[in-house]
Amino acid sequence: MGAKTRFHVSIFLCLSNSRILRCIKVKESWAKGAKRDENRDHATTDRNNFQMNHFLRRCCTGLFCAGLLVGAQAQEFHFGFVKTDRIFKESNAAKIAQTKLEQEFSKREKDIADQTALLKSTTDQLQVDAPTLSEAQRVTRQKQLAEQDRELQRKRRSFEEDLNARKNEELQQLIATANRVVKQLAEAEKFDLVLQDAVYVNPKHDVTDKVLKLMNEQSGK
């Protein structure tokens, strides 16, 4: 039988001069017990360690949230919330990025659509002509269709890869711009914290309109 474990966690949350002191004191003591099995599975030990670390991380997260609440009661805690989906859809920077992508890739997209339609039409025609074709003619046209299909698939993959790469580039630029504007707003209006993508936030803390206004003003310069 393995050694019994006693795990003590002492958590102190102190408030002094309107500041939060969060302390986690973790003390582990292992009682001496029967001799451990020398062939004990290492996977069991690793799993136990993971569970212990996971528990400690959850304690830390809980303390952080508790600290924010206590701090809000002790002094005015000014925080805001930004809806990133609106930034990506409504900002001028996002609309400009979308227009650029459409201009860059619309021709290739149309070419692929036209080739797809042509391949379908040619395939349908082969099915109509098949009864009147010799074996050699049918095989030749099937090979031609197969080659056209492979070429079309190659173009489609290349198109999607290039488009996704450019979308990611534009997205990173948009995120960088939004983060810069949020930081400017936070510093100007003395925010302690700005959140995004929360499950629920009181509308009075929503600063998305302010962020959009600043982004649009700066994009027009």
pLDDT digits (tens, 9 = 90+) for 52-99: 444 444 444 444 555 555 554 546 788 899 999 999 999 999 999 999
CA–CA gap between residue 25 and residue 198 (Å, rounded): 30
For residues 25-54, average pLDDT? 42
For residues 15-33, average pLDDT? 35
CA separation, residue 180 to residues 175, 177, 187 (Å): 9, 5, 11
Structure tokens at 199: 């499950």
Domain 81-219 part of CATH 3.30.1460 = no
Q: What is the pLDDT of residue 77?
A: 81
Domain extents in the chain? 5-29+43-77, 81-219
Q: What is the pLDDT of residue 168?
A: 96
Q: What is the pLDDT of residue 37?
A: 44
Write down the pTM of the prediction.
0.60
Closest listed residue to residue 211, CA positions, set 200, 188, 202: 188
pLDDT digits (tens, 9 = 90+) for 118-175: 999 999 999 999 899 899 999 999 999 999 999 999 999 999 999 999 999 999 999 9
The amino acid sitting at 135 is E
DSSP state of 130: G
